[in-house]
Amino acid sequence: MPYEFVLTEARGPVGIVTINRPQVRNALNPQTIAELVDALETFDGDEGIRCMILTGDDRAFAAGADISQMVDAGAVEVLADDNFARWARFRAIHKPVIAAVSGYALGGGCELALMCDLVVASETALFGQPEVKIGIIPGAGGTQRWARSAGKVRAMEAVLIGEPVRAVDAERMGLINRVVAAGAHLDEALRLANLIAARPPLAVRLGKEAVNHAMEVGLGAGLDFERKLFYLLFASEDKREGMRAFLEKRPGRFNGR
């Protein structure tokens, strides 16, 4: 399916989705969101792909929503459009998604990065939720994901003041995985994606589910959930292969079964 605002590329086992609206700093209009989610879902269903990367260009990962499309919208229109149903599909993706961020990741762009499972950023990256400056608040998970990854007080500062943080500060506060030299973000994301791609796919998938569950439930329920997935993996061929390969001091050959 041809897309207007995203580019897709399979590089070995890694599917790369690039937001491509440079003239508006990759602002996220409903069509762009629909396309990028669709592209990720397609890779998610592709047996040859083990991990996805979501990126923008050097100047912007994604600079928030298209304000020009929202300026005259009322509550009823926003509710009826149900843009958030598109975002919700993002959560149902099974394979890991790595955000490779350079430049602006603001508003919806920041929320999009934080939806990803890992975030790698160029030192030029800026993360922020400026919504408060225009009379709204983050609507695609910003308040919740900032609080969960960076903590309450950092989330309050981001959401109540709206000033962005630099990549080095975002790394320090646990918002992102790591900062790399300007221009090296995609290389680093590919390096990590290929490491993930070399791991047994079922273990990766259930590991992602288990960590995501930690954001949803109390510790006891989370531990119970983890235990069940742990037992489940003992039924896999990859577990037998992985353990044998370890004992025989050779790399494992995993088939995802």
Active-site amino acid positions:
65, 108, 111, 131
Shortest CB 40 distance to other proteins, Å: 26
Question: How far is the C-alpha of 228 from the C-alpha of 246, rounded, in Å?
Answer: 24
Closer residue to other proteins (CB): 45 or 183: 183
Piece of the chain touching other proteins by CB under 8 A; list 57-65, 141-149, 158-166, 182-190: 182-190
Which of 163, 187, 209, 237 is close enough to bind other proteins by CB under 8 A? 187
Residue 216, token pair as written in the block: 């949803």
Residue 229, token pair as written in the block: 């997935």
Closer residue to other proteins (CB): 191 or 257: 191
Closer residue to other proteins (CB): 7 or 181: 181
Question: How far is the C-alpha of 37 from the C-alpha of 56, rounded, in Å?
Answer: 14
User: 3 in helix, strand or coil?
Assistant: coil
Question: How far is the C-alpha of 80 from the C-alpha of 74, rounded, in Å?
Answer: 10
Which of 132, 136, 182, 229 is close enough to bind other proteins by CB under 8 A? 182
184 touches other proteins by CB under 8 A: yes
CB 140 within 8 A of CB 174: no
Closer residue to other proteins (CB): 170 or 206: 170
Closer residue to other proteins (CB): 36 or 53: 53
At residue 197, what are phi and psi to the nearest 5 degrees? -65, -25
169 touches other proteins by CB under 8 A: no
CB 19 within 8 A of CB 56: yes
Piece of the chain touching other proteins by CB under 8 A; list 14-22, 34-42, 174-182, 198-206: 174-182
Q: How buried is residue 56: exposed, middle or buried, by Cβ count under 10 Å (0-12/13-18/19+)?
A: buried
188 touches other proteins by CB under 8 A: yes
Shortest CB 187 distance to other proteins, Å: 6
Query: Containing H/E element for 244?
Result: helix 237-247
Piece of the chain touching other proteins by CB under 8 A; list 12-20, 35-43, 74-82, 180-188: 180-188
Piece of the chain touching other proteins by CB under 8 A; list 27-35, 178-186, 215-223, 245-253: 178-186
Shortest CB 180 distance to other proteins, Å: 5
In whole angstroms, what separates CA 75 from the centre of its chain?
28
CB 23 within 8 A of CB 4: no
163 touches other proteins by CB under 8 A: no
Q: Which of residues 111-150 bind other proteins (CB under 8 A)?
A: 123
Closer residue to other proteins (CB): 181 or 223: 181
CB atoms within 10 A of CB 251: 10
Residue 141, token pair as written in the block: 């998970």
